[in-house]
Structure 1
Amino acid sequence: MDYLLGLINNAVGNEQAARLLFVGAIGLSALLAAVTLVMLIQGLQDPVQRRLSLLKRGHGELAHGEPPPSNLQLMLEQVGQRFSSAEEGKVSATRTLLTHAGYRSPSAPQVYWAVRLLLPLLLIGVAFLGLPLIPKLSLLVGVLLVGSAAAVGWLLPAIYVDKRKQARMGRLRAAFPDALDLMVVCVESGLALPQAMERVAEEMTVSQPELAEELALVNVEIRAGIPSTEALKHLADRTGLEDVQGLVSLLAQSIRFGTSVADTLRIYAEEFRDRRTQAAEEMAAKIGTKLVFPLIFCLWPSFFLVAIGPVIIGILRTFGKL
């Protein structure tokens, strides 16, 4: 307390005004914390409010075996509702990002923005608690530390979601050729496209569960009455892969004009296999350039130290005797 009071006194230049500001800040913080705690307790314990929250998030009736949302999840959804897109029927960039990362829940954008809002506040509080432990800390350095904590808290969820998105898209891209080969075999054996996708999803459930889930979802949408072309477009939107979008366009044209789906899948599988080979060759060609920096900063200093070090020591000993 004395440390924070000293910082405010150095900034204001008046001890009495600094004490008033300090007491006012503590009182306001305590009042806001108490009001927030009371509202959260009332909102989470009231069954009517909980039921209304479930209805707002689209969980009026929970699916069989689906666990009910926790109080923490409902609280995060309520906090993040102010930041999520309010336009109905329009997919926001946040929802697209979360869908590509594997979060398809209707409340995912609310939880995402709530975490991005609350995490900086939490890290700011931790920074304020840690400032007295740093000796001889100036006001400017303290402000920079608090600002850095807030920036880290704001950017960390976005970085995590982006990394998860890249990893998921990489796994889908790696599993896509095998799924194409299996679909070609299923279609040539006489199965229709939805049944072929269902069979491939069953076969890839263990090895590639994410792609199997996406294919099974396409089959569910087709059974629900959605046209095949629309269900395939939804698949391309959920995955975010250009390869899947190209396949969807080819399959849509094949279904529209009545051409052979098996021939379309076989041709695209060959093209995709060639494209994957070219991507691997491109990555292999970049290895030489990428190895330059580890060689310069890691290997060459050690080499020069071993090769030239004894010579330099001998020269210093020789001139030292003179």
Structure 2
Amino acid sequence: MDFLLGLFSRITGNEELARLLFIGVVGISAVLAASAVILLMLGLQDPVQRRLALIKRGHSGSSAGQEAPGNLQLLLERVGQRFASTESAKTSVTQTLLTHAGYRSSSAVQMYWAVRLMLPLLLVGLTLLLLPMIPGVSLNIGLVLVLMAAGIGWLLPALYVGKRKEARQGRLRAAFPDALDLMVVCVESGLALPTTIERVAEEMSVSQVELAEELALVNAQIRAGISSTEALKQLAVRTGLEDVQGLVSLLAQSIRFGTSVADTLRIYADEFRDRRTQAAEEMGAKIGTKLIFPLIFCLWPSFFLVAIGPAMIGVFRAFGNM
């Protein structure tokens, strides 16, 4: 508390004004905290308001296998919805990013922006509480720490979603060759394309869960009346992989011109194996360049120390005896 009073005194230059400002900040913070707690504990627990919120977000309380969202999730969705409505130009880009990361919920964009808004405020509050415990912290250092906390809170959700997107696409890319081989076998055995997709999704539901879910969603869309080409195009959009986009283009041309789907899948499987071999060769060719910096900073100093160290010690001893 003394640290905060001193901080306000340095900013305003007047002790009385600093006290009034400190009391005002404490009062506003208490009112906001109490309002948040009341909204969380009472407002969202009202059965009518909760039911309306569930209807607006498209959630059916009687659907099996799904749990109703909690009060905190509904609160975050409301906060994010206010911000996302003003950022309509970025909504499609954010929704695409979240879809590639595996968040396909209708409220994923609102939740994302709510977390990006509330996390910096939370970290700034924690920083202000921890600053008095650090001895010898000046005003400039305190402001830098607060700004760093706000920046970390703003960038951390984006970095997490980006890493999750890369990891998910890596797993899908690794599982894609196995799915292609299974599809070739199923099509050559006489199964239609929707039945092939369904069978491959069932076979890969244990080893590759994410790709199995995507293929099962494609099969569900085809059963709902969407054409196979459109369902596969939506699969390419959801995954964001160039390999899947190439497969969709080939299958669309095969379906349009009436050529054999098995031949198309076999040709693309061979092409994908060649592309994967080229990617492996490219990664192997980069190893020599990547090893330059570890060799320079780790191995060569030790080599010079072992090779030249004894000679340098002998030279120093010879000049020391003179």
1:131 alignment partner in structure 2: 131
Shift of 1:319: 4.0
1:259 alignment partner in structure 2: 259
2:185 alignment partner in structure 1: 185
1:285 alignment partner in structure 2: 285
Q: Residues 112 and 181 of structure 1: is their aligned pair in 2 closer, same or farther, counting only changes over 3 Å?
A: same
* Alignment partner of 1:48 is 2:55: no
* Alignment partner of 1:166 is 2:166: yes
Q: Residues 142 and 317 of structure 1: is their aligned pair in 2 closer, same or farther, counting only changes over 3 Å?
A: farther
Residues 1-322 of structure 1: pairs in structure 2 closer than 5 A: 1-85=1-85, 92-322=92-322
- 8 Å Cα contact 1:62-1:68 kept in structure 2: no
What amino acid is the match of 1:143?
A: L
TM-score (norm. length: structure 1): 0.95
Shift of 1:303: 2.1
- 8 Å Cα contact 1:85-1:92 kept in structure 2: no
1:230-249 CA-partner distances (Å, limit 9, x unpaired): 10111001100011011111
Shift of 1:76: 1.5
Q: Distance in 1 between matches of 2:307 and 2:244?
A: 54
Shift of 1:62: 4.3
Q: Distance in 1 between matches of 2:74 and 2:295?
A: 52
Q: Distance in 1 between matches of 2:115 and 2:244?
A: 31
What amino acid is the match of 1:263?
A: D
**Secondary structure, aligned partner of 1:36:** helix
Q: Distance in 2 between matches of 1:209 and 1:26?
A: 50
Moved more, 132-141 or 236-245: 132-141
Q: Distance in 1 between matches of 2:87 and 2:138?
A: 46
What amino acid is the match of 1:3?
A: F
1:9-63 CA-partner distances (Å, limit 9, x unpaired): 1222211111111111111111222222222222222111111111111103442
Listed as ranges, the gaps of 5+ residues in structure 2 are none
- 8 Å Cα contact 2:76-2:115 kept in structure 1: yes
Shift of 1:84: 2.5
Q: Distance in 1 between matches of 2:317 and 2:160?
A: 55
Listed as ranges, the gaps of 5+ residues in structure 1 are none
Shift of 1:87: 9.4
Shift of 1:117: 1.2
Q: Distance in 2 between matches of 1:6 and 1:118?
A: 27
Q: Distance in 2 between matches of 1:120 and 1:91?
A: 21
TM-score (norm. length: structure 2): 0.95
Q: Distance in 1 between matches of 2:232 and 2:37?
A: 46
- 8 Å Cα contact 1:101-1:161 kept in structure 2: yes
**Secondary structure, aligned partner of 2:69:** coil
Moved more, 59-68 or 43-52: 59-68
**Secondary structure, aligned partner of 1:45:** coil
Q: Residues 225 and 136 of structure 1: is their aligned pair in 2 closer, same or farther, counting only changes over 3 Å?
A: same
Q: How big is the alpha-carbon RMSD for the aligned residues of Structure 1 and Structure 2?
A: 1.8
Moved more, 25-34 or 146-155: 25-34
Q: Residues 181 and 320 of structure 1: is their aligned pair in 2 closer, same or farther, counting only changes over 3 Å?
A: same
Shift of 1:318: 4.2
Shift of 1:304: 2.3
Q: Distance in 2 between matches of 1:244 and 1:80?
A: 32
Shift of 1:80: 1.0
Q: Distance in 2 between matches of 1:204 and 1:86?
A: 41
- 8 Å Cα contact 2:169-2:239 kept in structure 1: yes
Moved more, 244-253 or 68-77: 68-77
Q: Residues 50 and 193 of structure 1: is their aligned pair in 2 closer, same or farther, counting only changes over 3 Å?
A: same
Moved more, 21-30 or 223-232: 21-30
What amino acid is the match of 1:292?
A: I
Q: Residues 122 and 317 of structure 1: is their aligned pair in 2 closer, same or farther, counting only changes over 3 Å?
A: farther
What amino acid is the match of 2:74?
A: L
Q: Distance in 2 between matches of 1:45 and 1:9?
A: 43
Shift of 1:134: 1.9
Q: Distance in 2 between matches of 1:294 and 1:62?
A: 59
Q: Residues 86 and 21 of structure 1: is their aligned pair in 2 closer, same or farther, counting only changes over 3 Å?
A: closer
- 8 Å Cα contact 2:251-2:261 kept in structure 1: yes
Number of residue pairs aligned between Structure 1 and Structure 2: 321
- 8 Å Cα contact 1:115-1:157 kept in structure 2: yes
